[in-house]
Chain A
């Protein structure tokens, strides 16, 4: 501001890891707000648990690695990981599950690989994958929406004082659809299921479509702020919907429409907050597009044909492995040189 020799068009907004992370956290807020409206303030408790666990893990590892504590603790990257974990885990998961997942993400997936900027895998997705293979039952108990539970009751469930009654736990809309189709064994069809079963709303899961909408809103805001480029999210959405649309067009009785898939599970959270991770994702624009596209395809295949409720985490981790290869083959030509074949 005080530098009068710099022409205004060269003035840049000061950017730092901390600033970027804070804005990404801000972009998550619409989704969180919809979540609170849908499930209740328990999700805020889960976000707090995850944040505490992440900061504790981060502080421990920074101490062990003899890095400056204050600088890295305040950069917000651990908090973002924690929030993504809390938002992708079932909201009534016991507190220790969130804590263990977050610690695993920070200690193993982030710091053992070299800390901020060095991790080849998305820490939040590592936590999700580690927990869903370790605690499959707890990780697929989602609260049944019809059942009203007071905040205190939810708190007791999360704290592990109240018994985890099975009635409290439903399935995600994705899981419900998959199970119903499998049980029906050809006798039920998707349109009827969507119209009759209570877990489904207008075009995806009842209520969950609003949470997904919140993520979409936050994602678009990040894109407008140039925090993320359009490549990875668009690639992801395209990959997911193209495959979904193709199968839906072939057999609308057995496959849900692309809109359902986009607004179910972690699709939009993944599209805007996971595949856009600048560390574990691709760096070149073309690479980001390929990365997103393939992650979307894989996510659809795993969630529809696989055994797990959702496929985003595994799809992203598999694609994280391919990042060096994609980056190598998607280098843009050097400016001024002809792209010789």
Chain B
């Protein structure tokens, strides 16, 4: 069904090499609007993971039955049905969080990452591969949105995991920086999300450039040191 190499590749692409937020730059709207705290970012990503995994499987199963000409409307219908389910689940079990995330849960329907994976992957691959593709793309989203949310929260207000009580009522958010920390409000505002996303992308490019430089270094031991990657 799925061999180790395929699995590894799907994982690698979803989490790092084809990361939806850092490389494909898809789904920037929820990324900007929702990642004001770590909890918000992670919870929206979890909702998106569920939708992506199930939508990918559903479309992969139906891929030979869907007429090519009307595939996009069909995909949207499948995704919309799943999002409605997730929307109702959030409303029922995490009502406070549901009020915070608001319109962005229904808007998962229009999230380009979901449609992109369905169209580019699930429509052409068997269900199991599609399932893992959906999950790992979602995990890529999860750590990016979580990291961005955590950074914005920490810089903007000095807290971490605030609002965790909306998910686990017994837990409390952390106040990491002293209470009189004035808060760099820009980080919480949308421009701050753009600037921090830019930093994250720069960090990823730098990591890749360093890895590439190491590889060429190992390849030509006798050669002069590898040139530094430009623009990293």
* A binding-site residues for B, Cβ under 8 Å: 66, 100, 108, 112, 130, 133-136, 138
Chain B contacts for A134, CB-based, 8 A? 183-187
A133 engages B195 (CB within 8 Å) = no
Give 9 CB contacts A-B under 8 Å.
A66-B228, A100-B184, A108-B195, A112-B198, A133-B186, A134-B183, A134-B185, A135-B185, A138-B182
Residues of A within 8 A of B186 (CB): 130, 133-134
**Cα of A130 to Cα of B184 in the assembled complex, Å:** 9
Chain B CB count within 10 A is highest, among A66, A100, A130, A134, for A134
**Are A135 and B195 in touch, CB under 8 angstroms?**
no
Q: A136 vs B198: C-alpha distance in the bound complex, in angstroms?
A: 25
Are B189's CB and A135's CB within 8 A? no
A133 touches B189 (CB 8 A): yes
Residue of B nearest to A138 (CB): B182
Nearest chain A CB to B34 CB, angstrom units: 20
Residues of A with C-beta under 8 A to B187: 134
Instruction: Give the Cβ gap from A323 to chain B, nearest Cβ, in Å.
Output: 19
Knowing that A134-B184, A134-B185, A135-B182 are A-B contacts, what are 4 other residue pairs whose CB atoms are under 8 Å apart, sorted by A's residue number?
A108-B195, A133-B185, A133-B186, A135-B184
In the complex, which of the residues B184, B187, B198 has the most CB atoms of chain A within 10 Å of its own CB atom?
B184
User: Which residue of chain A has the shortest Cβ distance to B228 in the bound complex?
Assistant: A66
Chain A nearest CB, measured from B79 CB (Å): 36
* Contact residues in A for B198 (Cβ distance below 8 Å): 112
Taking CB atoms, residues of chain B closer than 8 Å to A112 are 198
Q: In the docked arrangement, what's the CA distance between A136 and B182, Å? A: 11
Nearest-Cβ distance from residue A94 to partner chain B, whole angstroms? 9
In the bound complex, what is the Cα–Cα distance between A112 and B232 (angstroms)?
Answer: 11
Instruction: Considering the complex, give the chain A residue whose CB is closest to the CB of B189.
Output: A133
Task: State how many angstroms separate the Cβ of A109 from the closest Cβ of chain B.
Answer: 10
Closest B residue to A130 by beta carbon equals: B186
Q: What residues of chain A lie closer than 8 Å to B185, measured between beta carbons?
A: 133-136
CA A134 – CA B187 in complex, angstroms?
8
How far does the Cβ of A158 sit from chain B's closest Cβ, in whole Å?
A: 15
Task: Please give the distance in Å from A123's CB to the nearest CB on chain B.
Answer: 14
Nearest-neighbour CB distance to chain B for A131, whole angstroms, equals 8
Residues of A within 8 A of B228 (CB): 66
| Residues of chain B contacted by A136 (CB below 8 angstroms) | 185
Q: B189 to nearest A CB, angstroms?
A: 6
- Give B164-202 as 1s and 0s: 1 = Cβ < 8 Å from A's Cβ atoms: 000000000000000000111111010000010010000
| 4 tightest A-B CB contacts, nearest first | A134-B185, A134-B186, A134-B184, A130-B186
In the complex, what distance in Å separates the CA atom of A204 from the CA atom of B158? 40
Residues of A within 8 A of B184 (CB): 100, 134-135
Chain A nearest Cβ from B188, distance in angstroms:
9
Q: How far is the CB of A205 from chain B (nearest CB, A)?
A: 27
Q: Tell me the smallest distance from the CB of A139 to a CB of chain B, in Å.
A: 11
Q: Within 8 Å CB of A130, what residues of B? A: 186
What's the Cα separation between A134 and B188 when bound, in Å? 9
* Distance of A326 Cα from B162 Cα, bound (Å): 46
CA of A136 to CA of B185 in the docked complex: distance in angstroms?
Answer: 9
CA A138 to CA B187, docked complex, whole Å: 17
A135 CA to B228 CA in the complex, in Å? Answer: 39
Interface code B193-232, partner A: CB below 8 Å = 1, 0 otherwise? 0010010000000000000000000000000000010000
Most chain A beta carbons < 10 A, residue from B185, B187, B195, B198: B185
Q: Which residues of B have CB within 8 Å of A133?
A: 185-186, 189
Distance (whole angstroms) from the CB of A164 to the closest CB of chain B: 11
Contacts of B183 in A (CB 8 A): 134
A138: chain B residues at CB < 8 Å are 182
Residues of A contacting B189 in the complex (Cβ-Cβ under 8 angstroms): 133
- Least CB distance from A20 to B in Å reads 29
